[in-house]
A and B are shown apart, each in its own frame.
Chain A
Amino acid sequence: MIWSIAWRNVWRNKLRSSVVIIAVSLGLMSGVFSSAFMKGWMGQRMDAVLLTELSYIQIHHPEFKENYEFRYFIEDPDPIMKEIKYLDEDIKLSKRMVINSMVASAETGTGVMIKGIDPEIEMKVSDINKKIIEGTYFADAGRNPVVIGKKLADKLDVSIKNKIILTIQDQDGNITSGAFRVAGIYKTSNTGFDGSTVFVKNHDLATLIGLEPGKAHEIAIVLPDKLDLEEMTEIIAAINPDLLTENWKDLSPEMGYMDDLMGVYMYIIIIIILFALCFAIINTMLMAVLERVKEIGMLMAVGMNKVRVFSMLMLESIFLTLTGGVFGIILGYLIYIFFRKNGLDMSIWGEGLEAMGFAAIIYPEFDYGMIVPIIILVILTGIFSSLYPAFKALRLNPSDAIRTE
């Protein structure tokens, strides 16, 4: 019956309760949507990091990354790849040659990183083929095709089928150059990547520098969701103790940090919102207690003990907060649905965002796992907000309270 009284008491002053419920709803709605927004935003950046730029795990010669020196190859990558593939058939792998070089057009020249890939195999670990905005992803049978980023194309002032010259230092230290024809232009959400990374066929690159085919500077690995990143990194490192095995958190520590931070970001936002709302709820509950002094006195007089009085007021506060919380989650979810479909266009800041590697159109991502923790936080807020008003009620003397006008 205490539950029923508490619920009905919430609706005694409909206007006052509605104001608090609306405040909690709007607060939670903002919290839920901003969490979905951040998750979507970070998720898009993570996808770019994992599927376009880094992949999940990379293997290199231990000294390769010090200066990206040509000579530090993985001598025989195929058996290593076979062994990793044996761990789980859903693991995707691609070997790459990675060479710092100069690229030049008739207009200008700049430094780039060439990635020599097998286009078919690379598609399994990278989504660069899906980012093509002009031309094709190595579909032309022409000689020495190259896929470059939009930013680089603009800088070099080249377009599809234009020729560019790649200048590379070969394994003997000699400078060698080759002409490549632009087969495709890609655009990712990271203009830094677009301006500095070009893709050529592994075979063409090996021919240019006179290298035996089969060697690689880098093995890129994409793991299925079922496998744990850290655990797999350790296993793969143990298989290849002479090579350097790093996961994306090692390769891009700032992204690792942001990913970890995202886990607590939602809670920080929600807790700040709920903490601010606490004061409105305390105020409402306090008013509810002060205008019911006589009634609370009567309840105590006829035999309602302190635990029950406390529970009744605490339940009122929880119902008030929870009603707002549930509405807030639903509203936040509806807004999420809308922007999930339509995207939140932040193109006005697009240039700056893309320079930092973030997409300009954000598709929020709802974390269903956060519903229960949010509801628990809302209930805790209700309990916390009821403490002062409830203790105030408990200090009432029934005989004085009954005589209150």
Chain B
Amino acid sequence: MNIIEVKKLHKIYDQDTHPVHAVRGVDLNFKEGEFAAVVGPSGSGKTTFLNMLGGLDDPTEGEIMIDSVNINELSNRKKINFRMNHIGFVFQAYNLIPVLTAKENVEFIMHLQGRSKHDRELRTKELLEAVDLADKLNVRPNKLSGGQQQRVAVARALASKPKFILADEPTANLDSKSAANLLEIMEKLNREEHITFIFSTHDQRVVDKARRVITLDDGMIKSDVQV
């Protein structure tokens, strides 16, 4: 079953002055439980594509249906709520809230969702155990390694029980060991809990783990391979 349907997606920046066609007519579907990597050279439109999938950028043309909802037709307010409840984000630079502990960072989105304290604590514990950080509950990000921070970021992305997770270059700032460890955890979550992961990456290790590899070039799909 498709959870994301992308139809004739275009994105043109600076349309009036110096138009840059970042994404050109992309048609793609993602099924539940996919572990997909979007690859391509710098400037190929990976990040723009992922931003549009995440509702952070609006397409110039085309539509994105997530669970049969056209996210481009949502008001800004509804889009923020939609992101909070349906999409998990993992960023290249971890982007944790530095003044909160690992536990509080994971709890944060559930707090925004208005979930009960008991519910939040249970899920936070569960998620931090899943990313092997059960012993770092009360540690702030500056006391964690890059790999540990990114694992907290994965736990945070999963906290809201999203339909899928968008990970923009998640391993770019990590050493090999941490990257391998992170990928292993994400693969395990995908395999055992059917969580859908969509990566944009340059990292061959991510591509090697991915079961679907979409190559973008000059804003267009060059190849879409199921491994």
Contact = CB atoms under 8 A, between A and B. Distances in A.
A1 interface: yes
A301 B112 contact: no
Interface string A382-398: 00000000000000011
Contacts of B85: 303
B81 interface: yes
A24 B93 CA distance: 36
B225 interface: no
A157 interface: no
Interface string A289-305: 00000110011111111
Interface stretch (B103-111, B123-131, B143-151, B190-198): B103-111
Interface stretch (A5-13, A278-286, A338-346, A365-373): A5-13
Given A1-B108, A1-B111, A294-B93, A305 B99 contact: no
A404 to B, nearest CB: 10
Interface string B61-83: 00000000000000001001101
Contacts of B99: 5, 8-9, 12
Nearest to B157: A302
A162 interface: no
Given A1-B111, A303-B112, A303-B160, A295 B97 contact: yes
A3 to B, nearest CB: 11
Given A298-B91, A399-B56, A303 B84 contact: yes
Interface residues of B, number: 28
Given A8-B99, A305-B77, A1 B83 contact: no
A399 B57 CA distance: 7
B30 interface: no
A302 B89 contact: yes
B100 interface: yes
B84 A302 contact: yes
A91 interface: no
A402 interface: yes
A308 interface: yes
A303 B95 contact: no
A12 B107 CA distance: 21
Contacts of B111: 1
A366 to B, nearest CB: 37
B44 interface: no
B109 A302 contact: yes
Interface string B125-142: 000000000000000000
B41 interface: no
B54 interface: yes
B43 interface: no
Nearest to B93: A294
B75 to A, nearest CB: 11
B154 to A, nearest CB: 13
B51 interface: yes
Nearest to B51: A399
Contact of A1 (B57, B89, B95, B107): B107
Contacts of A299: 97
A1 B107 CA distance: 9
Nearest to A297: B95
The prevalent SS among residues of A at the interface is helix
Nearest to A303: B84
Contacts of B77: 305
B112 A402 contact: no
Interface in B31-52: 47, 51
B111 to A, nearest CB: 5
Contacts of B83: 301-303
Contacts of A298: 89, 91, 95
Contacts of A4: 104
A1 B100 CA distance: 10
Nearest to A1: B111
B81 A305 contact: yes
Contacts of A397: 56
Contacts of A398: 56
Contacts of B93: 294
Contacts of A304: 80, 84, 112
A300 B80 contact: yes
Interface in A2-61: 4-5, 8-9, 12
Given A302-B83, A402-B91, A308 B97 contact: no
A8 B108 CA distance: 14
A279 B184 CA distance: 51
Contacts of A295: 95, 97-98
Contacts of B47: 403
Contacts of B95: 294-295, 298, 402
B54 A301 contact: yes
Nearest to B100: A5
Nearest to B50: A399
Given A1-B107, A1-B111, A301 B89 contact: yes
A402 B109 CA distance: 17
Contacts of A5: 97, 99-100
Given A294-B93, A294-B95, A8 B84 contact: no
A-B residue pairs, 8 tightest by C-beta:
A303-B84, A8-B99, A399-B56, A298-B95, A399-B51, A1-B111, A305-B80, A399-B57
Given A303-B109, A303-B113, 18 more contacts: A1-B111, A9-B99, A12-B99, A295-B97, A295-B98, A298-B89, A298-B91, A298-B95, A301-B56, A301-B89, A303-B80, A304-B112, A305-B77, A305-B81, A306-B80, A397-B56, A399-B57, A403-B47
7 contacts: A1-B107, A5-B100, A302-B89, A303-B80, A303-B85, A304-B112, A306-B80
